[in-house]
């Protein structure tokens, strides 16, 4: 809205002259001269009035001689053209062209008391000079067509109205879009242009390019969809769909890609174009969300495709059926793939079929797969392994001849496999061929030493009366390492049998027997196991000796800790208190997380009221674990038992500081400090209690008591 302004106008009857002379007026003489002088004077007065007070002159003239007001029109210039508006008329203008209001045409001289007013426009900007509406109201104001009213006012009364209809054209917006540097502004301008000319492919292309350059792919897709909806030519539709598909691929929108491809397929069918690529893409899109639909497509693609493509589609089917747990369909797909596989691919396919048949517990199918795999593999270790596995299956089936045939075939490809000789040993044993059994066991052990097999061969020789041949085998086991319970059992058995054989040779008097006995008895774990056995048998002295030897020999903390735990229990059973306490102290030192040993010492010494020993032990604990508040409490307990109230109070204070959130700790420390005479420290501790527990009556009472005592001491005469 702008303030009213006043424009110059013109009278329909401009002022000048006077009434015609009366009849009979005589010219000449003094009277006429006087009249002339008066007229000239009046004219001069009117001229001065008109020059210096024109509006007042015009208003006076109009009231005396003017006709009723008539608003004729409004003149303006638009660019280089002049236009005239009648009251109530409309004029179409562009917001970008210069506009100037030049004249209000009425029958009133100087348009006195008339003003122009606009609720939509700053009239001053288009009267003083030519200006564009865009400069006045801004570009955004004219994003939609606008009607700008110009009113002629006399006072508050509207005498006439003129209307300017301002709007940019599609071309205007397009030109602005072409000139814009920023993509966002280009997009805005092209959208406005396209709103005015929605069928313009040129504008749609410009907008698409700008959206793509700005990375606004969702809006670009929406535009392309709308353009696609207007396309009619099949080739045009196909091209637009391909472009839309590419965009949706970049955006990763699988559902949109599926919809586009499903529209492309019938177009391709109609046009006779190949469908395989489209269907392959469609199947890949369905792969994750709808795998069975993808499988259906791949099944349709297999017949008639090139062999390489068939193999690829069958592998996709295999993966889909495997992920869905459809083992029957997966097996069928592998079998079809086997028919298409060359020599290089056949082993892999047989391996997959083998895994499926093993899961299905299909015995004949497994044997067929192993045989097919073995025959398809090139010579080498894998071929030998396959034949060996086939031999094992025939062995499990009870066909020993076919099993041996398969094992012998495996030997042709690999004579370094210990398991193969072991299987031949088992086969010989099943045929009651003892010699072949032992020979093949020896060959297996030569390739791969194994305690269990060594023990098996040694026992076989003992069973066959060959003890002296068995002795080196037992010695090997007896001197070997043992990392599992089974190995420990084998070694323990081997040592026992070694000693038994040596004993049988010379009644146990052989020095070799004693040497082996001591050799086999100086391992910490053996002594530990002996100690456990003795403990379980309640042979306390034997258990103590074994566990002490364990501690002497073992650098392993975990084993030492277990041994000490057993020693503590054994000493407690035998009443050896000092030894028990010493072991408990050592156990807490080595394993501070195991506080049971510490608490055992506290319980015993507290019961015995051996405060000195407890003070010594607790003092050591505070060195080992200075941040454990319980250690300081135990030290305070011992110091209190010894009558050391000051140190005991300080220990309790230290415990409270290590557990600042425990009210009981601060309360105990405060009371101990008060008893020791340290009122200031006691007061601070009581205040800690009140901070944690504002309603604690004991702390509140103690603080009041301390305050009264301090007040009393302050009033005593000095």
Structure tokens that stand for 512 in this block = 């070799």
- Tell me what pLDDT residue 445 has: 92
The C-alpha atoms of residue 625 and residue 193 are separated, in whole angstroms, by 82
Residue 433, SS3? coil
Query: What is residue 17's predicted lDDT score, i.e. its pLDDT?
Result: 35
Residue 91 has φ and ψ, to the nearest 5°, of -135, 125
Check residue 483 and give its pLDDT: 74
- Tell me the two tokens of residue 184: 């966002």
CA distance 246 to 242: 6
* pLDDT (mean) for 184-213: 88
Q: Which residue has the tokens 């004579």?
A: 415
Res 611: pLDDT = 92
pLDDT digits (tens, 9 = 90+) for 27-54: 445 678 888 888 887 777 777 777 777 7
Q: Name the band, by pLDDT with cuts 50, 70 and 90, for residue 527.
A: low
Residue 154 sits at φ, ψ, to 5 deg, of -125, 105
**What was the pLDDT predicted at 650?**
93
Q: How far apart are alpha carbons 408 and 390 in whole angstroms?
A: 11
pLDDT value at 454 more than 60: yes
Contact 276, 301 (CB under 8 A): yes
140 φ, ψ to 5°? -60, -30
Residue 246 has pLDDT above 50, yes or no: yes
Closest CA to 443 of 466, 459, 430, 426: 426
Q: Over 80: is that where the pLDDT of 522 sits?
A: no
Query: Which pLDDT does position 430 carry in this prediction?
Result: 92
Q: What is the pLDDT of residues 414-451, one digit of tens each?
A: 888 899 999 999 999 999 999 999 999 999 999 999 89
Distance of CA 375 to the CA centre of its chain: 49
Residue with the two structure tokens 């303030």: 3
Burial class (CB in 10 A: 0-12, 13-18, 19+), 608: exposed
Pairing of strands 157-166, 90-93: parallel
Q: For residue 615, give the nearest of 589, 592, 636, 587 by alpha carbon.
A: 636
Closest CA relative to residue 164, chosen from 136, 187, 199, 202: 136
**Mean pLDDT over residues 537-550, rounded?**
80
**Where do we find the tokens 């037992």?**
474
In this predicted structure, what is the pLDDT of residue 441?
A: 94
Spatial separation of the C-alpha atoms in residues 122 and 89, rounded to whole Å: 20
What b/e sequence results for 29-50 when a residue is b if at least 16 CB atoms lie within 10 Å of its CB, and e otherwise?
Answer: eeeeeeeeeeeeeeeeeeeeeb
> Alpha-carbon dihedral of residues 86, 87, 92, 96, nearest 10 degrees?
100
pLDDT number for residue 715:
54
Residue 106 has pLDDT above 80, yes or no: yes
- Taking the C-alpha atoms of residue 262 and residue 285, their distance in angstroms, rounded to an integer, is 11
- Structure-block tokens of residue 185: 């502004």
Share above pLDDT 70 across residues of the chain, in percent, rounded to a whole number:
90
Torsional class of 554: left (φ above 0), alpha (ψ -120 to 50), beta (otherwise): beta
What does the alpha-carbon distance between residue 395 and residue 430 come to, in Å, rounded to a whole number?
Answer: 10
pLDDT for res 23 = 40
Helix (H, G, I), strand (E, B) or coil at 75: strand
Residue-wise burial string across 561-576, b where 16 or more C-beta atoms lie within 10 A, e elsewhere: bbbbbbbbbbbbeeeb
Share of the chain above pLDDT 90, in %: 15
Q: How confident is the model at residue 22 (pLDDT cuts 50, 70, 90)?
A: very low
Q: What is the pLDDT of residues 387-409, one digit of tens each?
A: 889 898 999 888 888 998 998 89
C-alpha–C-alpha distance, residues 424 and 403, integer Å: 9
Give the mean model confidence (pLDDT) for residues 8-23.
37
Average pLDDT, the chain: 83
Mean per-residue pLDDT for 547-563? 81
Can you tell me the distance from the alpha carbon of 406 to that of 383, in angstroms, rounded to the nearest whole number? 11
Rounded Cα gap, residues 472 and 13, in angstroms: 149
Alpha carbon distance 222, 211 (integer Å) = 11
418, burial (CB in 10 Å: exposed 0-12, middle 13-18, buried 19+)? middle
pLDDT of residue 444: 93
Of the two residues 399 and 512, the one the predictor is more confident about is: 399
The pLDDT assigned to 24 comes to 37
Q: For 67, list phi and psi in degrees, rounded to 5.
A: -90, 170
């Amino acid at each position: 809205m702008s303030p009213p302004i006043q424009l110059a106008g013109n009278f329909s009857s401009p002022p000048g002259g006077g009434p015609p002379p009366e009849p009979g007026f005589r010219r000449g003489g003094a009277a006429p001269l006087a009249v002339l002088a008066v007229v000239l004077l009046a004219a001069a007065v009117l001229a001065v009035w008109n020059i210096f007070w024109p509006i007042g002159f015009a208003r006076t003239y109009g009231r005396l001689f003017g006709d009723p007001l008539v608003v004729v029109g409004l003149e303006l210039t638009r660019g280089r053209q002049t236009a005239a508006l009648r009251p109530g008329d409309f004029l179409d203008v562009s917001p970008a062209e210069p506009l100037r209001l030049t004249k209000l045409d009425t029958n009133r001289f100087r348009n006195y008391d008339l003003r122009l007013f606009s609720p939509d426009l700053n009239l001053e900007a288009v009267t003083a000079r030519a200006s564009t509406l865009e400069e006045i109201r801004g570009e955004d104001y004219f994003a939609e067509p606008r009607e700008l009213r110009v009113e002629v006012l006399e006072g508050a009364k509207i005498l006439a109205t003129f209307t300017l209809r301002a709007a940019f054209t599609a071309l205007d917006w397009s030109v602005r879009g072409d000139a814009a540097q920023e993509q966002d502004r280009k997009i805005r301008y092209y959208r406005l242009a396209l709103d005015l000319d929605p069928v313009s492919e040129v504008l749609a292309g410009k907008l698409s390019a700008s959206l793509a350059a700005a990375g606004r792919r969702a809006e670009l897709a929406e535009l392309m969809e709308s353009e696609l909806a207007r396309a009619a030519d099949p080739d045009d539709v196909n091209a637009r769909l391909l472009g839309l598909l590419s965009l949706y691929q970049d955006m990763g929108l699988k559902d949109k890609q599926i919809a586009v491809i499903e529209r492309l397929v019938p177009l391709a069918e109609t046009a006779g174009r190949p469908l395989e690529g489209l269907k392959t893409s469609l199947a890949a899109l369905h792969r994750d969300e709808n795998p069975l639909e993808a499988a259906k497509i791949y099944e349709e693609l297999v017949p008639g495709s090139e062999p390489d493509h068939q193999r690829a589609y069958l592998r996709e089917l295999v993966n889909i059926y495997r992920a869905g747990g459809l083992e029957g369909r997966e097996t069928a797909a592998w079998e079809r793939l086997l028919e298409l596989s060359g020599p290089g691919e056949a082993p892999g396919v047989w391996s997959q079929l083998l895994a499926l048949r093993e899961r299905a517990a299909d015995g004949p199918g497994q044997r067929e797969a192993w045989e097919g795999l073995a025959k398809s593999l090139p010579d080498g270790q894998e071929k030998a392994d396959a034949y060996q596995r086939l031999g094992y299956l025939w062995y499990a089936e009870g066909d020993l001849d076919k099993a041996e045939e398969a094992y012998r075939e495996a030997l042709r490809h690999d004579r370094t496999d210990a398991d193969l000789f072991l299987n031949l040993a088992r086969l010989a044993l099943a045929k009651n061929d003892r010699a072949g059994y032992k020979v093949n066991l020896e060959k297996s052990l030569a390739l791969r030493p194994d305690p269990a097999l060594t023990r098996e061969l040694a026992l076989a020789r003992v069973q066959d009366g060959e003890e002296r041949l068995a002795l080196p085998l037992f010695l090997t086991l007896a001197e070997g390492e043992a990392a599992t319970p089974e190995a420990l059992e084998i070694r323990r058995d081997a040592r026992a049998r070694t000693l038994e054989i040596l004993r049988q040779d010379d009644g146990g008097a052989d020095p070799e027997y004693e040497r082996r006995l001591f050799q086999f008895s100086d391992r910490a774990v053996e002594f530990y196991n002996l100690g456990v056995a003795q403990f379980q048998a309640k042979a306390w002295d034997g258990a103590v000796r074994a566990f002490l030897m364990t501690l002497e020999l073992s650098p392993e903390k975990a084993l030492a800790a277990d041994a000490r735990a057993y020693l503590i229990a054994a000493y407690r059973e035998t009443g050896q208190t000092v030894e028990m306490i010493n072991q408990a102290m050592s156990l807490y030192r080595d394993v501070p997380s195991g506080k049971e040993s510490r608490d055992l010492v506290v319980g015993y010494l507290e019961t015995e009221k051996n405060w000195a020993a407890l003070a010594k032990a607790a003092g050591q604990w505070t060195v080992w674990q200075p941040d454990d508040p319980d250690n300081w409490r135990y030290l305070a307990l011992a110091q209190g038992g010894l009558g050391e109230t000051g140190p005991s109070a300080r220990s309790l204070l230290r415990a409270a500081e290590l557990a600042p959130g425990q009210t009981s700790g601060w309360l105990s420390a405060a009371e101990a400090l008060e008893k020791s005479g340290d009122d200031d420290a006691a007061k601070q501790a009581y205040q800690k209690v009140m901070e944690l527990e504002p309603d604690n009556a004991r702390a509140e009472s103690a603080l009041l008591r301390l305050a009264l005592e301090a007040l009393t001491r302050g009033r005593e005469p000095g």
